[in-house]
Amino acid sequence: MRRRWWMVLGVVLAVLVTGSVGAVAGMRALSNRYEDAVDRADLLPPAPKNSPTEPPKVRGPMNLLLIGSDSRTSGEPGDGRSDVVILVHIPKSTKQAYVISIPRDTYLPIATADGGRGSRNKVNAAFAWGGAPRLVQTVNRFGGITIDWPVIVDFAGIRELTDLVGGVDVTIDKKSVDRYRFLPDDSPYPSAPCTDPQGRSRRCVAFPAGRVHLDGKLAEYYVRQRRGLPHDDLDRSRRHQQYLRALADKMAEENLLTDPRKLDRLVRTAAGMLTVDRRMPVQRLAFTLRHLRSKDLTFLTLPIAENRDVPGVGAVMVPDAARCRELFAALREGRLDAYVREHPPNDVRHGR
């Protein structure tokens, strides 16, 4: 059987490809079971009054917005935090996917309750104030784009999913210590001496340089570290991308399609991490995206000009206005391939 990289984007598109899994592995009878495991909620903003009713979009070009939270949420205001915001653009051909991380502290105009332009704040404030619909409106206004399908991902499920595939391997350029993550004395994980806020001697999580094997718990520590990295939230965003790529590659290496029981457990686990819009046609989208492979993913980060402290808001990351206009113009006009030739994408084969 030909190896397929059907677990596109690691966690999220694992569920979207259940339709193609059914066709390839003779498991179509189970596809409804997987889709039923996905929570559904109203994640899109209301359509304008008197606007024509359009069928759910299942063809390219399309934009997905992945919203990572600390716990599975309904997308309602105040229901959890959105520490991960990733825009996924799929061109008309649907033969590629551009994965664009938007750091959570990005300083953007937050959409008002009616979708207008509001005052600037950290982008994750949009989710806290107005749930997924407000975050969608905020990104739409900033980029001059339309988010077709938002998806909430429970990143607390990283542990279970990573352990399910036997862990993942990542390459780290330079040793880092997370001085906000304290370990018990009997912890098996790499550590370094540190001091807690009360001045007591403790052991903190340390990630040595080189190739490191991450089990579920260590993977969770890895993608959540922020302090102690050379570029703070930018490096954390790249770790998210590195982890997703490593997870997807591990799934491909294991060739899980040959073991229906493992496949069933894996996809149900991934599905249990997701909340999608009520109207999202999961199986039809799966069919559209069935040809994607890991080599077809390009990883980018929203261009940032500077870090700044804003009274009443805190430390923020100010977007590079000119570069952002260039990026989103290329996205809207189907020219992202030219954009990445001029602005090299992230190399997610290694991380900070």
The DSSP secondary-structure symbol of 214 reads E
Using alpha carbons, select from 146, 144, 143, 125 the residue that is nearest to residue 135. 125
Of 350 and 78, the one with more pLDDT: 350
Average confidence (pLDDT) over 212-239: 89
Flag whether 206 is in a domain: no
Whole-angstrom distance, CA of residue 107 vs CA of residue 131: 18
Whole-number pLDDT of residue 269 = 79
Flag whether 123 is in a domain: yes
Flag whether 1 is in a domain: no
pLDDT digits (tens, 9 = 90+) for 155-186: 677 788 889 889 999 999 999 999 999 999 89
Flag whether 209 is in a domain: no
Report CA torsion sign: 239, 271, 61, 126: negative
Cα angle 169, 173, 174; round to 5? 115
Task: Specify the range with the lowest mean pLDDT, choosing from 52-66, 90-104, 198-212.
Answer: 52-66
Flag whether 171 is in a domain: no
Percent of the residues in the chain that have a pLDDT greater than 90, as a whole number: 51
Q: Which residue has the tokens 């994607």?
A: 292
Domain that holds residue 112: 12-46+56-163+254-342
Cβ pair 127, 53 in contact under 8 A: no
DSSP string, 57-85: P-SSSEEEEEEEESS---S-TTSS-EEEE
Measured in whole angstroms, the distance separating CA 230 from the mean position of its chain's CA atoms is: 21
The two three-digit tokens of residue 342, written as one number: 């001029």
Percent of the residues in the chain that have a pLDDT greater than 70, as a whole number: 84
Whole-angstrom distance, CA of residue 205 vs CA of residue 9: 27
pLDDT digits (tens, 9 = 90+) for 240-298: 888 888 887 787 676 655 567 777 777 777 778 888 999 988 877 877 877 777 778 89
Q: Which residue has the tokens 């590195």?
A: 242
- Compute the half-sphere exposure of residue 195: CA atoms within 13 Å on the CB side of its CA: 4
Number of structural domains the chain divides into: 1
What CATH number is given to the structural domain containing 330? 3.40.630.190
Return the C-alpha torsion angle 213, 254, 34, 137, nearest 10.
50
Flag whether 321 is in a domain: yes
Whole-number pLDDT of residue 344 = 94
pLDDT digits (tens, 9 = 90+) for 6-49: 333 445 554 454 444 444 444 454 566 666 778 899 999 988 77
Ramachandran angles phi, psi of 19, nearest 5°? -60, -45
Whole-number pLDDT of residue 109 = 97
Flag whether 188 is in a domain: no
Q: What pTM value is reported for the model?
A: 0.86
Flag whether 36 is in a domain: yes
Whole-angstrom distance, CA of residue 178 vs CA of residue 214: 15
pLDDT digits (tens, 9 = 90+) for 40-83: 999 999 887 777 777 888 899 999 999 987 554 555 655 555 67
